[in-house]
Amino acid sequence: MLPPGSTIGILGGGQLGRMLGLAAAQLGYKVHVYAPDAESVAAEVTAHHSQAAWDDEPRLAAFAAACDAVTFEFENVPVDTVRFLSGHVAIRPGALGLEIAQDRLAEKKFVADLGGRTAPFASVPDRAALDIALADIGAPAILKTVRMGYDGKGQARLATPADADTAWQTIGRHAAILEGFVAFEHEFSVILVRGIDGEIRTWDSSVNVHEGGILATASLPPPPVVIEQQDEARAMMAEIADALDYVGVLTGEFFATDAGPVFNEMAPRVHNSGHWTIEGAVTSQFENHIRAIAGLPLGSTATRQLPVMMRNLIGADIALIPDLLADENCHVHHYSKTEVREGRKLGHATWAGASPT
């Protein structure tokens, strides 16, 4: 167990790191952010900040020496960075979950091997393989780059096989995975936290609505079909967490379908769809992540009161904050990012125990 006054390192300087830093401070910890970016909204609220490249081993070693434990706030931290640090300091979660989550093909195979239900998928290493995959899976389908890509980036939809050339160009001709189209009623999240001792606790699932590939809202209670499929999806995520010997918050995104919950993807970190837990749950995802990696007892994940709605403030939406603050039931979080641009998450608003007015 890390005593108060210990330093927790966070790889990555974005809003998730910012909210993790605030949760760590609440529990008496100092936080040291390591990121290559000059602008770090996480570093604004933490004690220490190292701006250096992911492969700068002398700086990484110095960072490790200054920390008592290290975690990461987004899934595109290089696996080699995590492996290097693991030789110098406790890093939770470890590299395995990160490595699998960074490769969409490996991720789908991993979950399928555990018995999870996924969309039909095929490897597309080159353009010729796309035709073979389409002949096997059919269309409509979605072509996704194997690596990188988030919030709808690195993806292209194919209504028919005739769209293959356009789709291949759209994703930049990178190695990809073709996923068969899944007919679903709703998208929902399963967010769990696993302690060092293997204890797992799970928050209630939100139903998620995306616009332009970006999460727009996460709300509770979800519709009956999601509630009916929540336990099966939770069991799948618990099996994944145990297989990875995972420590911290782990998120899985699912489709509610006639056949049951279909696994879409996982994130080895706190998640956008769990922001509602700050005001809406007894213990937020951010606090429980810190508790887990510090070896502290996990907090209750119970929902305080319903309904709950979390809305992302994307791009020009950030200008709505004065109006949102006029709603006495609205909790606003501004991420302190200076550049406003289309598609950029700049904050979020939450209503707990009330609906937006």
Within 13 A of 152's CA, how many CA atoms are on the CB side? 11
**Residue 152, pLDDT score:** 59
Cβ contacts of residue 129 below 8 Å, gap of 6+?
A: 122, 123
Query: What digits encode the pLDDT tens for the residues 80-105?
Result: 999 999 999 999 999 999 999 999 99
Report which of residues 59 and 213 the model is more confident about: 59
Angle between helices 79-86 and 57-66 (to 10 degrees): 50
Query: What digits encode the pLDDT tens for the residues 55-78?
Result: 999 999 999 999 999 999 999 999
Indicate the pLDDT class of residue 148, thresholds 50, 70 and 90: confident
**Residue 205, pLDDT score:** 98
**Residue 88, pLDDT score:** 97
Euclidean distance between CA atoms 38 and 56, whole angstroms: 15
Taking all residues of the chain, what is their mean pLDDT, rounded to a whole number? 96
Is 90 exceeded by the pLDDT of residue 328?
A: yes
Euclidean distance between CA atoms 106 and 114, whole angstroms: 12
**Residue 210, pLDDT score:** 94
Cβ contacts of residue 43 below 8 Å, gap of 6+?
A: 13, 33, 35, 49
Name the amino acid, one letter, at 203.
W
Name the amino acid, one letter, at 229.
Q
Indicate the pLDDT class of residue 150, thresholds 50, 70 and 90: low
- What mean pLDDT do residues 175-200 have? 96
Query: What digits encode the pLDDT tens for the residues 92-146?
Result: 999 999 999 999 999 999 999 999 999 999 999 999 999 999 999 999 999 999 9
Q: Name the percent of the chain lying above pLDDT 70.
A: 99
Of 156-165, 202-211, 287-296, the least confident:
156-165
Instruction: Kindly state the DSSP code that residue 9 receives in the 8-state scheme.
Output: E
Is 70 exceeded by the pLDDT of residue 151?
A: no
Instruction: Kindly state the DSSP code that residue 43 receives in the 8-state scheme.
Output: G
